[in-house]
């Protein structure tokens, strides 16, 4: 490019600085959203993998019954290590302890137990304070547990040992275990040695054989292949079973090299990255539209340049450099905010949601390269279409460019003809309506841009409304106010009498619930469960035949429980995460009080937050457990339905039960379920809002640009109107009407894509988080906001150029170049 | 038209037809025109509105392509050139002057004159500005060289446009109503300028409505409904 053309380029850009700034802003904003997600995704992946692998997680854990006594541990380990393909082995156990605070149970601690002489090579952790093994009355608490439960090293806590005997333990140190999800106020983690088990009234045995498995014997790198691990673990299990009296309860083989939350984090960030990419695509379309407008304004100049000797490729080169400059500036501006926000988001997710230390904030070079290429390349690619078209215009076409010379198509002709027959309609209104169809390409681009922005914006907010509606599904399904869990089953009638007399209680129902796992009959249960037992464990609920506090969940396959069902079970949809082939008609086994019971799957239920399933009938449960008329769960209805009243009623019921020698394990208001569901989706909602807002802003810029281009293109036409006596007000009104028409048409066009986006994203994210689609919700507010924004935006965006057009003299307008 | 075998032809039109498809059907703007313009002539193309004057000039400039027939300008048959080749050819062989000046608004007057030299690359880079200033001096607006076109009067802008048309020293100037947007004083001075340029040997073809242009031109070609009208007394 010659110096002179460079001067022209700079001056042209300066002349249209408003448009240039809007283009730069639009690309920057979208690129920030995209780059934030890309950076965050990469950082989360790398830190998650390195953090998880730093614990050298076990490839598989084989649960043995009975547990292995200390004197037999070495021989068991030797047996395991002699199995071909096994790299290393360790005996461990997981223990659940209730913390007692102020006389009542406040939280659960999941304690990972190992021998004091365990070399801690497998499923290890980092001791941040204190030493391993802790003293005989000491425990090491996981770092996030100390934070969540507001505990400190050196403090003591009381836990309930065997027979609910309170035992005081000292927190002698803190451990960092990155294979665990973050602790909450209700559930925490810790590490203890078998030395402490006698104090807790338990046998010092260990029942989990943790192994690391290689692809081939002799190799030292753990296998990435789950099938290899399962095969090796099953082979070892067979050998262990040869010992008389030993049975295998479960083999847990989590996905190798994957943090428990790896898949969900990847899928979430990929979904958000897709939203970011959509936003970028939208701004690229916007750039194409704006650039098309700029070129339309420049077409007479292109004609002149060609008339005085410029070849098409010269013109192409000139405008390519212009768009390259715009996107390069935008990309440069987006680079640092993208990195900063990406790191902040990764930090938030890693520390807050995944319990992973951020050890490295560096991302591979390809991340920067992709950001750069996408930021510069995508707008360039899309702008190329109008650019090539403009540069190929002949001198004649370019010089004749008057803004609206397209020959009307058949549809447009019919529309014009129909409009021509209308009587009594404001002629300016008719003219405005005709005008929007004159430049069909521009019209389609403008409508497409606004409709895309609207669809993503409203779709995003619909999704948010769907997530927000999830807690409501809990209250729709459950009309009880407080759930009281009993420590031991009690006689139903006694419980009903006691709780029914508690002040504020208006209704009582007695249920049963137990923690269990589901397996196919006759098979060793090979699960994907992680050591924290958080995945794959299930709470079975026995539903009374007559209940007024529970509405059955939505059944997606089969049916709900019917009167007279005694061996029927309804499973949650999420069961397919661990048992993918599970279907109606299958037989399954559940251990109830250590006895395997047989059940027939009659239905699969939708499983959003707080789902009650797997469910069986109360009658069936009583038959299976052999406990007639005994219950361990009380559903209470209170006279007031606020959280405080529910908590008070729960406490009063617990106290009343205590007076009747019935020990309550916990009293939980329904609000706790709702709060938990809301907490899970809050981060997602915030991220969706961030992207929806950025898309909304890009859409608005597009609107402003489209409308001003629309006016600029027709400056000559307004001059002619002025010349034949049209007052400035008519010109202004005409332009504003056109803007509003385009906005309205875009809203209509956006309806179907909005519904599709809501459906597809709701299904995808819902399946990811809840194994069921997010409830389909259309946010009326989102629709109102978007319609208001586009119509008011269209009016405002057209007013400025309309005023400018109306102020032009006839001569200026006709000589417009 | 009569050919003079002793003169070199700057323009030759052979059986040129130009037809357009309009909503009412096919419209023929130029009907089988044969026209020769000798090098050094100053030809005015006159006629009523819609007679095909501008279309004829556009055909000579390669802005329009004939529906049939051949257009030869400056020894080049324009029908064989692509759009880009036509642009290059125009830059080197013809200078165009428009009714509405068509100066590029973001370039100063001198830069507007330099631009065709940048495109054609006939003149060494170092000499381009000096030449542009000389041309502006030639048309009498050197003092306006560093202003943007919008700051100039209509007459000054047209002079700048003429200087731009002369940038690559083309042998032919094609002017479309160059005085149509000027007051009478400017109109005369622009016509005098063209006469001077013609006197230097440059071929000028000018579409005009001006009755008094005939005193400056060497020949007048009158178009009537897309055909060259034969002057009275000639057959």
Q: How far apart are CA B134 and CA B163, in angstroms?
A: 9
Q: What is the pLDDT of residue A211?
A: 94
Q: Do residues A458 and A424 lie in contact, with contact meaning Cβ atoms separated by under 8 Å?
A: no
Q: List for chain A the helix, strand, coil content (%; round to 5).
A: 55, 20, 25
State the alpha helices, DSSP H only, in A348-426: 365-391, 395-399, 410-421
Q: Is B115–A311 a contact, with Cβ atoms under 8 angstroms apart? A: no
Q: Do residues A249 and A344 lie in contact, with contact meaning Cβ atoms separated by under 8 Å?
A: no
Burial A463-494 (b: 16+ CB within 10 A, else e): bbbbbbebbebbeebbbbbbbbebbebbebeb
| Confidence class for position A428, pLDDT limits 50, 70, 90 | low
Give the percent of chain A with pLDDT over 90.
Answer: 23
Question: How close, in Å, is residue A10 to chain B by CA atoms?
Answer: 9
Q: How far is CA A610 from the centre of its chain?
A: 17
Residue appearing with tokens 């405005």: A432
Q: Do residues B190 and B213 lie in contact, with contact meaning Cβ atoms separated by under 8 Å?
A: no
The DSSP string of B86-122 is HHHHHHHHEEEE-TT----TTS-HHHHHHHHHHHH--
**CA distance to A59, A214, A216, A228, per residue, from A222 (Å):** 7, 4, 10, 10
Closest of A783, A784, A789, A761 to residue A773, by C-alpha: A761
Q: What is the pLDDT of residue A693?
A: 75
Question: How close, in Å, is residue A719 to chain B by CA atoms?
Answer: 15
Residue appearing with tokens 């006197």: B199
Instruction: Using CB atoms, pick whichever of A4, A305, A394 lies closest to residue B83.
Output: A394
Give the chain A residue nearest B118 (alpha carbons): A2
B102 touches chain A (CB under 8 A): yes
Closest of A444, A463, A467, A469 to residue A754, by C-alpha: A463
Q: How far apart are CA A186 and CA A188, in angstroms?
A: 7
Whether residue A11 has pLDDT greater than 70: yes
Is A812 or A517 the better-scoring residue by pLDDT? Answer: A517
Give the chain A residue nearest B128 (alpha carbons): A4
Q: Kindly give, in sequence order, each residue whose CB lies less than 8 Å from that of residue B83, ignoring residues fewer than 6 positions away.
A: A306, A312, A392, A394
Give the chain B residue nearest A3 (alpha carbons): B118
Whether residue A739 has pLDDT greater than 60: yes
pLDDT tens by residue, A240-277: 888 888 888 778 888 888 887 777 777 777 777 777 77
Pick the range with the lowest mean pLDDT from A17-26, A493-502, A590-599, B25-34: A590-599
Cis amide bond preceding A352, omega within 30: no
User: Going along A20-149, which residue ranges are E strands?
Assistant: 60-68, 86-101, 104-114, 126-129, 138-142
Q: How far apart are CA A459 and CA A761, in angstroms?
A: 8
A163 touches chain B (CB under 8 A): no
Mutate to test the interface with B, among A2, A294, A308 (most CBs of B within 10 A): A308
Q: What is the pLDDT of residue A422?
A: 66
Q: Is B104–A305 a contact, with Cβ atoms under 8 angstroms apart? A: yes
**DSSP state for residue A552 in the 8-state scheme:** P
| Confidence class for position A600, pLDDT limits 50, 70, 90 | very high
Query: In chain A, which residues have their Cβ closer than 8 Å to the Cβ of B64?
Result: 396
Whether residue A483 has pLDDT greater than 70: yes
Give the chain B residue nearest A298 (alpha carbons): B104
Query: In chain B, which residues have their Cβ closer than 8 Å to the Cβ of A15?
Result: 105-106
Pick the range with the lowest mean pLDDT from A13-17, A446-450, A808-812: A808-812
Is A425 or A119 the better-scoring residue by pLDDT? Answer: A119
In DSSP terms, which residues pair with A633 in a beta bridge? A485, A511
Pairing of strands A166-176, A126-129: antiparallel
Query: In chain A, which residues have their Cβ closer than 8 Å to the Cβ of B114?
Result: 4
A314 touches chain B (CB under 8 A): yes
Q: Is B87–A399 a contact, with Cβ atoms under 8 angstroms apart? A: no
Whether residue A703 has pLDDT greater than 60: yes
Question: How close, in Å, is residue A373 to chain B by CA atoms?
Answer: 31
Mutate to test the interface with B, among A16, A20, A309 (most CBs of B within 10 A): A309
Q: Is B106–A15 a contact, with Cβ atoms under 8 angstroms apart? A: yes
Whether residue A533 has pLDDT greater than 60: no
3-state secondary structure of A792: helix
**CA distance to A50, A108, A474, A483, per residue, from A674 (Å):** 34, 20, 7, 13
Residue appearing with tokens 């006698």: A198
Q: What is the pLDDT of residue A405?
A: 47
pLDDT tens by residue, A612-650: 688 999 999 988 888 888 899 999 999 998 888 998 898
Give the chain A residue nearest B108 (alpha carbons): A8
Give the chain A residue nearest B21 (alpha carbons): A407
Residues 22-61 of B with CB under 8 A from A: 23, 58, 61
Q: Is B91–A308 a contact, with Cβ atoms under 8 angstroms apart? A: yes
Question: How close, in Å, is residue A356 to chain B by CA atoms?
Answer: 57
Is A350 or A579 the better-scoring residue by pLDDT? Answer: A350
Residue A252 token pair: 């847990």
Q: How far apart are CA A529 and CA A536, in angstroms?
A: 5
Closest of A654, A482, A675, A490 to residue A102, by C-alpha: A654
Mean pLDDT of chain A: 83
Residue appearing with tokens 């920030």: A32
pLDDT in tens, chain B (235 residues): 444 556 788 999 999 999 987 767 788 999 999 999 999 999 999 988 888 898 999 999 988 889 999 999 988 999 888 888 888 898 889 999 988 888 888 889 999 999 999 888 889 999 999 999 999 998 889 999 999 888 898 889 989 999 999 999 999 999 998 888 778 888 888 889 999 999 999 999 999 887 777 888 989 999 999 998 876 544 4
Residue A541 token pair: 């609920």
Q: Do residues A37 and A338 lie in contact, with contact meaning Cβ atoms separated by under 8 Å?
A: no
In DSSP terms, which residues pair with B206 in a beta bridge? B44, B175
Give the CATH architecture of domain B41-65+80-228: 3-Layer(aba) Sandwich (3.40)
> What is Dmax (Cα atoms) for chain A?
107
Mean pLDDT on A495-505: 92
CA-based torsion, A496, A498, A499, A505: positive or negative: positive
B146 touches chain A (CB under 8 A): no
Helix (H) or strand (E) holding A518: none
Q: Kindly give, in sequence order, each residue whose CB lies less than 8 Å from that of residue A314, ignoring residues fewer than 6 positions away.
A: A5, A305, B119
Give the chain A residue nearest B120 (alpha carbons): A309
Closest of A259, A308, A348 to residue B102, by C-alpha: A308
Q: Do residues A651 and A482 lie in contact, with contact meaning Cβ atoms separated by under 8 Å?
A: no
pLDDT tens by residue, A787-803: 998 888 878 877 777 77
Give the chain A residue nearest B166 (alpha carbons): A308
Q: How far apart are CA A355 and CA A265, in angstroms?
A: 12
CA angle A12, B107, A720 (to 5 degrees): 75
Pick the range with the lowest mean pLDDT from A155-169, A524-538, B165-179: A524-538
Is B42 or A18 the better-scoring residue by pLDDT? Answer: B42
Q: How far is CA B200 from the centre of its chain?
A: 16
Q: How far apart are CA A644 and CA A671, in angstroms?
A: 10
Q: What is the pLDDT of residue A274?
A: 78
Q: What is the pLDDT of residue A635?
A: 93
Cis amide bond preceding A61, omega within 30: no
Q: How far apart are CA A740 and CA A751, in angstroms?
A: 17
Whether residue A661 has pLDDT greater than 80: yes
Q: Kindly give, in sequence order, each residue whose CB lies less than 8 Å from that of residue A76, ignoring residues fewer than 6 positions away.
A: A64, A68, A91, A209, A240
What are residue B194's phi and psi, to 5 degrees?
-60, -40
Query: In chain A, which residues have their Cβ closer than 8 Å to the Cβ of B84?
Result: 311-313
Whether residue A464 has pLDDT greater than 50: yes
Pick the range with the lowest mean pLDDT from A93-107, A648-662, A773-787: A93-107
Q: Do residues B226 and B232 lie in contact, with contact meaning Cβ atoms separated by under 8 Å?
A: no
Residue B46 token pair: 């006159």
The alpha carbons of chain B give a radius of gyration, in whole angstroms, of: 18
Instruction: Using CB atoms, pick whichever of B23, B91, B111 lies closest to residue A309.
Output: B91
Give the chain B residue nearest A10 (alpha carbons): B106
Instruction: Using CB atoms, pick whichever of B23, B106, B116 lies closest to residue A308.
Output: B116
Q: How far is CA A716 from the centre of its chain?
A: 52
Residue A757 token pair: 């986006």
Q: What is the pLDDT of residue B233?
A: 47
Q: Is B87–A395 a contact, with Cβ atoms under 8 angstroms apart? A: yes
Q: Do residues A778 and A476 lie in contact, with contact meaning Cβ atoms separated by under 8 Å?
A: no
Residue B159 token pair: 């002079």
Q: What is the pLDDT of residue A814?
A: 54
| Confidence class for position A488, pLDDT limits 50, 70, 90 | confident
Question: How close, in Å, is residue B36 to chain A by CA atoms?
Answer: 23
Instruction: Using CB atoms, pick whichever of B63, B84, B118 lies closest to residue A307.
Output: B63
CA angle B174, B101, B201 (to 5 degrees): 30
Question: How close, in Å, is residue B234 to chain A by CA atoms?
Answer: 35
Q: Is A300–B83 a contact, with Cβ atoms under 8 angstroms apart? A: no
Whether residue A355 has pLDDT greater than 80: yes
B200 touches chain A (CB under 8 A): no
Q: Do residues A596 and A590 lie in contact, with contact meaning Cβ atoms separated by under 8 Å?
A: yes
Q: Do residues B146 and B107 lie in contact, with contact meaning Cβ atoms separated by under 8 Å?
A: no
Query: In chain A, which residues have their Cβ closer than 8 Å to the Cβ of B162?
Result: none
A41-55, A153-167, A732-746, B207-221 — most confident range: A41-55
| Confidence class for position A172, pLDDT limits 50, 70, 90 | very high
CA angle A610, A614, A620 (to 5 degrees): 130
Q: Do residues A449 and A296 lie in contact, with contact meaning Cβ atoms separated by under 8 Å?
A: no
| Confidence class for position A161, pLDDT limits 50, 70, 90 | confident
End-to-end CA distance of chain A: 23
Pick the range with the lowest mean pLDDT from A12-16, A609-613, A687-691: A609-613
- The size of the A-B interface in CB pairs under 8 A is 92
Mean pLDDT on A302-306: 89
Q: How far apart are CA A749 and CA A757, in angstroms?
A: 14
Q: Count how many residues are written for chain B.
A: 235
**CA distance to A209, A225, A232, A233, per residue, from A84 (Å):** 16, 16, 8, 10
Q: What is the pLDDT of residue A26?
A: 81
Question: How close, in Å, is residue A407 to chain B by CA atoms?
Answer: 9
Residue A654 token pair: 């617990």
Q: Do residues B187 and B211 lie in contact, with contact meaning Cβ atoms separated by under 8 Å?
A: no
Mean pLDDT on A723-748: 79
Closest of A57, A697, A34, A756 to residue A376, by C-alpha: A34
Tell me the ipTM for this assembly: 0.84
Mean pLDDT on A421-434: 67
A301 touches chain B (CB under 8 A): yes
A5 touches chain B (CB under 8 A): yes
CA-based torsion, A257, A259, A263, A265: positive or negative: negative
Domain segments of chain B as ranges: 41-65+80-228
Query: In chain B, which residues have their Cβ closer than 8 Å to the Cβ of A313?
Result: 84
Mutate to test the interface with A, among B87, B126, B161, B167 (most CBs of A within 10 A): B87
């Amino acid at each position: 490019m010659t110096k002179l053309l460079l001067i022209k380029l700079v001056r042209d850009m300066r002349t249209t600085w408003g448009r240039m700034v809007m283009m730069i802003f639009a690309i920057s904003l979208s690129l920030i959203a995209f780059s934030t997600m890309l950076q965050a995704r990469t950082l989360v992946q790398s830190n998650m993998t390195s953090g998880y692998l730093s614990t050298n997680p076990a490839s598989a854990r084989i649960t043995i019954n009975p547990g292995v006594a200390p004197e037999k541990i070495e021989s068991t380990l030797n047996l395991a290590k002699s199995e071909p393909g096994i790299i290393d082995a360790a005996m461990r156990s997981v223990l659940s302890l209730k913390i007692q605070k102020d006389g009542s149970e406040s939280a659960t601690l999941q304690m990972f137990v190992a021998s004091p002489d365990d070399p801690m090579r497998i499923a290890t952790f980092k001791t941040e304070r204190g030493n391993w093994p802790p003293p005989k009355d000491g425990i090491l608490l996981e770092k996030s547990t100390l934070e969540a439960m507001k505990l400190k090293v050196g403090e003591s806590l009381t836990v309930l040992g065997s027979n609910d005997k309170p035992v005081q333990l000292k927190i002698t140190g803190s451990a960092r275990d990155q294979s665990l999800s973050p602790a909450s106020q209700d559930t925490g983690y810790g590490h203890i040695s078998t030395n402490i088990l006698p104090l807790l009234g338990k046998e010092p045995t260990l029942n989990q054989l943790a192994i690391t498995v290689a692809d081939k014997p002799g190799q030292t790198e753990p296998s990435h292949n789950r099938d290899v691990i399962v095969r090796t673990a099953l082979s070892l299990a067979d050998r262990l079973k040869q010992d008389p009296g030993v049975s295998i309860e479960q083999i847990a083989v989590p996905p190798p090299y994957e943090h428990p939350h790896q898949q969900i984090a990847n899928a979430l960030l990929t979904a958000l990255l897709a939203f970011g990419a959509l936003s970028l695509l939208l701004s690229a379309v916007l750039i194409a539209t704006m650039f098309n407008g700029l070129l339309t304004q420049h077409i007479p100049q292109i004609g002149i340049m060609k008339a005085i000797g410029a070849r098409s490729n010269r013109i192409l080169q000139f405008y390519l450099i212009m768009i390259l400059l715009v996107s390069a500036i935008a990309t440069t501006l987006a680079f640092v905010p993208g990195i900063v926000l990406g790191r902040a988001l990764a930090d938030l997710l890693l520390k807050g949601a995944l319990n992973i230390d951020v050890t490295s904030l560096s991302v591979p070079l390809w991340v920067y390269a992709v950001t750069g290429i996408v930021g510069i390349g995508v707008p360039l690619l899309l702008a190329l279409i109008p650019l090539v078209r403009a540069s190929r215009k002949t001198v004649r076409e370019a010089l004749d460019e008057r803004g609206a010379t397209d020959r009307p198509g058949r549809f447009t002709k019919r529309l014009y003809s129909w409009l021509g027959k209308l009587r009594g309609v404001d002629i300016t209104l008719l003219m405005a309506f005709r005008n929007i169809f004159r430049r069909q390409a521009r019209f389609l681009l403008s409508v497409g841009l606004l409709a895309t922005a609207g669809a993503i914006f409203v779709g995003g907010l619909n999704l948010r409304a769907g997530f927000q509606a999830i807690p409501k599904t809990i209250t729709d399904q459950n009309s009880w106010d407080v759930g009281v869990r009993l420590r031991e089953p009690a006689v139903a009638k006694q419980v009903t009498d006691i709780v029914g007399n508690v002040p504020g209680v208006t209704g009582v129902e007695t249920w049963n619930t137990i923690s269990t796992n589901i397996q196919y009959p006759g098979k060793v249960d090979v699960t994907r469960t992680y050591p924290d037992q958080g995945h794959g464990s299930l709470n079975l609920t026995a539903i009374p035949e007559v209940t007024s506090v529970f509405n059955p969940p939505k059944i997606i396959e089969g049916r709900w429980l019917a009167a007279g069902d005694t061996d029927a079970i309804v499973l949650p949809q999420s069961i397919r995460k661990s048992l993918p082939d599970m279907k109606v008609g299958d037989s399954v086994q559940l251990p109830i009080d250590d006895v395997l019971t047989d059940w027939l799957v009659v239905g699969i239920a939708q499983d959003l937050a707080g789902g009650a399933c797997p469910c069986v009938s109360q009658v069936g449960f009583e038959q299976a457990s052999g406990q007639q008329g005994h219950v361990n769960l009380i559903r209470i209805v209170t006279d007031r339905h606020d959280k405080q009243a529910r908590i008070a009623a729960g406490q009063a019921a617990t106290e009343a039960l205590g007076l009747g020698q019935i020990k309550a394990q916990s009293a939980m208001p329904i609000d706790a379920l709702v709060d938990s569901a809301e907490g899970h989706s809050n981060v997602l909602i915030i991220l969706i809002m961030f992207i929806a807002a950025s898309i909304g802003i890009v859409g608005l810029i597009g609107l402003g640009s489209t409308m001003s281009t629309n006016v600029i293109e027709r400056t000559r036409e307004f001059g002619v109107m002025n010349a034949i006596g049209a007052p400035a007000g008519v010109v202004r009104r005409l332009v504003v009407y056109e803007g509003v028409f385009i906005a309205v048409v875009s809203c209509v066009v956006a309806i179907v894509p909005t519904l599709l986006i809501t459906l597809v994203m709701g299904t995808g994210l819902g399946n990811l988080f809840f194994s069921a689609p997010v409830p389909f919700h259309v946010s009326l507010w989102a629709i109102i906001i978007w319609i208001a924004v586009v119509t008011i935006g269209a009016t405002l965006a057209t007013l400025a150029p309309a005023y400018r057009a109306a102020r032009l003299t006839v001569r200026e307008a006709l000589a417009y170049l | 038209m009569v050919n003079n075998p002793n003169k070199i032809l700057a323009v030759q039109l052979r059986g040129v037809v130009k037809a357009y498809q309009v909503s009412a059907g096919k419209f023929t703007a130029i009907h089988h025109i044969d026209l020769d313009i000798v090098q050094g002539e100053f030809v005015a193309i006159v006629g009523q509105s819609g007679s095909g004057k501008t279309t004829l000039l556009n055909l000579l400039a390669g802005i329009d392509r004939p529906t049939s027939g051949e257009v030869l300008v400056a020894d080049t048959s324009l029908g064989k050139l692509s759009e880009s080749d036509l642009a290059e050819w125009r830059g080197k062989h013809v200078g165009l002057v428009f009714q509405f000046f068509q100066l590029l608004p973001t370039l100063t007057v001198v830069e507007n004159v330099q631009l065709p030299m940048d495109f054609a690359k006939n003149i060494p880079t170092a000499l381009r500005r000096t030449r542009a200033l000389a041309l502006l001096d030639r048309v009498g607006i050197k003092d306006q060289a560093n202003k943007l076109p919008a700051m100039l009067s209509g007459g000054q802008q047209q002079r700048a446009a003429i200087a731009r048309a002369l940038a690559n020293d083309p042998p032919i100037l094609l002017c479309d109503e160059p005085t149509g947007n000027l007051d009478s004083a400017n109109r005369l001075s622009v016509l005098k300028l063209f006469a001077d340029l013609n006197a230097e040997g440059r071929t000028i073809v000018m579409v005009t409505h001006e009755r008094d242009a005939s005193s400056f031109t060497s020949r007048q070609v009158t178009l009537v409904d897309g055909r060259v009208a034969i002057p009275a007394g000639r057959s």
